[in-house]
């Protein structure tokens, strides 16, 4: 073992003992550092025969499963209820969350989740219903879905919406499947999809997943896509374009309308990645820009929790051209009550491509998003976008001379920096981000967008006060000055004040250690050294 790391009970490396904080603090007997508790895997806490429930085994119950009867224990950890609670609370304390501090992760829009939304989502009439209940018993919930659909259509200026997609990326899949269904209905096999190099990685992945060939378009020196660059690639085999607006450089695509017109003239469709709708909501209606399909991340624009890959919602709005192909189910207002169109397709133009999920989407997220919309109102939502853009521009204006910005002029909802200001300092973008952890912040997005060298993408969102932004800016400016003054160690040794220091993420991804036994190296670094 090199680098002066100690080992925990699991053989996992702890902190460096030769860091600057060493010497001032004695090693503790528990391995904990005050409330920074050294927590083991739950499997390591397990003891045979221990359980959170102490009901006796039911006796004489006949099994009805026959050969599929389990014969061995399923290997759940044996821990008592208080142990389970402590385990997860201790782990949660090692986490960083939007409720803990500013979360400047660009492109992710980590905005405050208002408690009013939480309160409404927990109302029993909304929280305790089941998707298989008779529709006559869930009229209020269907009304709510219908109302949310209405506001999404009004805000985007588009005539249809599919609510079942469960994340932005899932929404992309929904939109591109609708495009494919529309092309199939036209009897055309167009196979190429144009995707700017600055796109979120999910865009080319989605296009490829739907069987399209991805054709990358370069961005211009101003970080935007030009209509000429698009026109140069258009042809009879182009199914459409996937464009993000505002784009991932935090810039508004100025030629978006001309791009839409050109794509339509060539017989293609315009998919817009609307993850950044939070920057323009209430100000710009995507329908007016010629967009055919766009996902809206309720967890970005409408303040629902991100949920750690859990219960997300990424509704997709559609133009007249694609609306008939939107997936089932949807809610209709039959005058005498709301109904769900699940299987039979009503007489008309609807030709749904199928369904994306078992049920109707994430009800809890719908409640929260609608609560957010209604508590802000039309003028309030416009102010949300204004404040998000103002906050990002404040960060950009205050830091662009301390750091370096790749593009001239103001930004939209996120401020983008590159690593030119670190040139010759021996500090990389990654080191800079790690030093921000020691300052008590979650790092900004790094090395994305790919079109900018050593990118650092900062998105404060409208939730932050000026005081909070000032404190963050002071840390960023302090770090920038320290790097330029040659205080390299501050960066290369960072993070010093985190439960773990730097892990070998590549190795963890390529050679994951998935066993939970005490003997196995439980971290990539332990495996490496
Ligand atoms: C966040 C984001 C996505 C993906 O959304 P998920 O909900 O995380 O699947 C796609 N595109 C852009 C530009 C994004 O910022």
Ligand 1 centre distance from Cα of residue 169 (Å): 6
Q: Is 275 in the pocket of ligand 1 (CB under 6 A)?
A: yes
Q: Would you give the DSSP letter of residue 508?
A: H
DSSP sequence for 63-101:
PSSGGG---S--------HHHHHHHHHHHHHTS--TTTS
CB 414 within 8 A of CB 459: yes
Q: Which fold has domain 118-371?
A: 3.40.640
Most ligand 1 atoms within 8 A of CB, residue of 103, 106, 107, 247 to mutate:
107
- CA dist., res. 105 & res. 5, Å (int): 29
- CA dist., res. 479 & res. 492, Å (int): 12
Give percent helix, percent strand, percent coil of the chain, each to the nearest 5: 35, 10, 50
Most ligand 1 atoms within 8 A of CB, residue of 105, 169, 204, 315 to mutate:
169
Return the structure tokens found at 290. 């010629």
- CA dist., res. 89 & res. 109, Å (int): 25
Q: Is 244 in the pocket of ligand 1 (CB under 6 A)?
A: yes
Return the structure tokens found at 492. 């290369």
CB 113 within 8 A of CB 131: no
- CA dist., res. 446 & res. 451, Å (int): 12
Return the structure tokens found at 83. 């142990």
Q: Is 312 in the pocket of ligand 1 (CB under 6 A)?
A: yes
Q: Is 66 exposed, middle or buried (0-12, 13-18, 19+ CB in 10 A)?
A: exposed
**Bond before 246 cis per omega within 30 degrees:** yes
Closest by CA to 327, choosing from 175, 437, 474, 225, is 175
CB 321 within 8 A of CB 182: yes
Q: Which residue's CA is minimally distant from atom 15 of ligand 1? A: 107
Locate the domains of the chain by residue range.
118-371
- CA dist., res. 505 & res. 256, Å (int): 38
Strand partners, 193: 214, 240
Q: Is 314 in the pocket of ligand 1 (CB under 6 A)?
A: yes
Return the structure tokens found at 49. 């025969």
Q: Which residue's CA is minimally distant from atom 8 of ligand 1? A: 168
Query: CA dist 279 to 59, 107, 167, 379, 459, Å?
Result: 61, 11, 18, 14, 11
End-to-end CA distance of the chain, in Å? 5
- CA dist., res. 132 & res. 523, Å (int): 44
CB 304 within 8 A of CB 298: yes
Q: Mean pLDDT of residues grouped by 10 in the chain (529 residues)?
A: 44 49 72 86 90 84 76 86 94 90 94 96 94 95 97 98 96 98 97 94 96 95 95 97 95 96 98 96 97 97 80 94 96 92 79 93 95 96 97 98 96 97 98 97 96 96 96 98 98 92 89 68 39
Q: Is 297 in the pocket of ligand 1 (CB under 6 A)?
A: yes
- CA dist., res. 380 & res. 387, Å (int): 10
Q: Which residue's CA is minimally distant from atom 5 of ligand 1? A: 168
Length of the chain: 529
Q: Is the dihedral of CA 514, 518, 524, 529 positive or negative?
A: negative
Ligand 1 centre distance from Cα of residue 307 (Å): 14
Query: CA dist 303 to 115, 117, 167, 368, Å?
Result: 11, 9, 14, 8
Q: Is 168 in the pocket of ligand 1 (CB under 6 A)?
A: yes
Most ligand 1 atoms within 8 A of CB, residue of 173, 196, 273 to mutate:
273
Ligand 1 centre distance from Cα of residue 460 (Å): 17
Strands 160-162 and 213-217: unpaired
Segments of 166-267 assigned E as strands: 192-196, 213-217, 238-244
Q: Is the dihedral of CA 77, 81, 83, 86 positive or negative?
A: positive
- CA dist., res. 220 & res. 342, Å (int): 45
Return the structure tokens found at 58. 């039911």
Can you tell me whether residue 354 is helix, strand or coil?
Answer: coil
Closest by CA to 218, choosing from 195, 242, 193, is 195
Q: Is 138 in the pocket of ligand 1 (CB under 6 A)?
A: no
Strands 293-295 and 269-273: parallel
Closest by CA to 196, choosing from 170, 237, 233, is 233
Instruction: Give me the phi and psi of 410, to 5 degrees please.
Output: -70, 165
pLDDT score, position 308: 59
pLDDT score, position 66: 74
- CA dist., res. 357 & res. 166, Å (int): 8
pLDDT in tens, 111-136: 999 999 999 999 999 999 999 999 99
Ligand 1 centre distance from Cα of residue 482 (Å): 33
Strand partners, 417: 456
- CA dist., res. 476 & res. 468, Å (int): 13
Q: Which residue's CA is minimally distant from atom 4 of ligand 1? A: 168
CB 367 within 8 A of CB 214: no
pLDDT score, position 14: 54
């Amino acid at each position: 073992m090199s680098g002066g790391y100690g080992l925990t009970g699991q053989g996992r490396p702890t902190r460096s003992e030769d860091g600057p904080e060493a010497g001032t603090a004695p090693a503790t007997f528990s391995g904990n550092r005050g409330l920074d508790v050294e927590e083991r895997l739950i499997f390591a806490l397990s003891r045979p025969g221990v359980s959170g429930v102490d009901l006796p085994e039911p006796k004489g119950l006949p099994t009805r499963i026959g050969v599929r009867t389990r014969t061995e224990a399923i290997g759940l950890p044996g821990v008592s209820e208080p142990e389970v609670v402590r385990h997860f609370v201790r782990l949660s304390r090692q986490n960083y969350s939007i409720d803990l501090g500013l979360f400047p992760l660009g492109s992710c829009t980590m905005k405050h989740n208002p408690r009013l939304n939480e309160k409404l989502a927990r109302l029993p009439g909304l929280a305790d219903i089941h998707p298989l209940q008779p529709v006559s018993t869930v009229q209020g919930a269907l009304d709510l879905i219908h109302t949310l659909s209405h506001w999404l259509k009004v805000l985007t200026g588009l005539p249809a919406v599919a609510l079942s997609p469960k994340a932005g990326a899932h929404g992309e899949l929904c939109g591109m499947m609708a495009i494919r269904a529309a092309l199939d209905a036209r009897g055309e096999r167009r196979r190429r999809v144009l995707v700017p190099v600055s796109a979120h990685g999910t865009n080319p992945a989605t296009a490829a997943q739907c069987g399209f060939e991805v054709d990358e378009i370069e961005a211009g020196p101003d970080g935007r896509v030009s209509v000429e660059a698009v026109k140069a690639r258009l042809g009879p085999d182009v199914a459409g374009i996937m464009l993000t607006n505002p784009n991932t450089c935090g810039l508004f695509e100025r030629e978006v309308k001309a791009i839409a017109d050109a794509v339509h003239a060539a017989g293609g469709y315009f998919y817009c990645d609307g993850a950044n709708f939070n920057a323009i909501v209430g100000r710009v209606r995507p329908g007016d820009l010629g967009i055919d399909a766009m996902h809206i991340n309720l967890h970005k624009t409408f303040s629902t929790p991100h949920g750690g890959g859990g219960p997300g919602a990424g509704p997709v709005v559609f133009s007249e051209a694609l609306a008939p192909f939107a997936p089932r189910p949807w809610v209709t207002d039959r005058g005498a009550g709301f109904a769900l169109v699940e299987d039979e397709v009503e007489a008309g133009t609807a030709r749904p491509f199928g369904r994306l999920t078992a049920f109707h989407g994430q009800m809890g997220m719908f409640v929260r998003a609608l609560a957010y919309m209604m508590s802000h109102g039309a003028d309030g939502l416009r102010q949300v976008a204004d404040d998000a853009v103002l906050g990002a521009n404040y960060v950009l204006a205050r830091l662009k001379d301390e750091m370096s910005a790749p593009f001239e002029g103001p930004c939209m909802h996120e401020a983008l920096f590159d690593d030119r200001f670190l040139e010759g300092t021996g500090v990389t973008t990654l080191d800079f981000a790690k030093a921000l952890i020691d300052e008590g912040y979650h790092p900004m997005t790094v090395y994305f967008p790919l079109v900018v060298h050593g990118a650092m993408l900062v998105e404060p969102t409208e939730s932050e006060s000026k005081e909070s932004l000032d404190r963050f800016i002071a840390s960023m400016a302090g770090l920038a000055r320290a790097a330029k003054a040659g205080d390299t160690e501050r960066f290369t040794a960072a993070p010093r004040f985190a439960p773990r220091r730097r892990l070998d993420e590549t190795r963890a991804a390529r050679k994951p250690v998935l066993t939970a036994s005490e003997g196995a190296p439980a971290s990539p670094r332990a495996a490496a050294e």
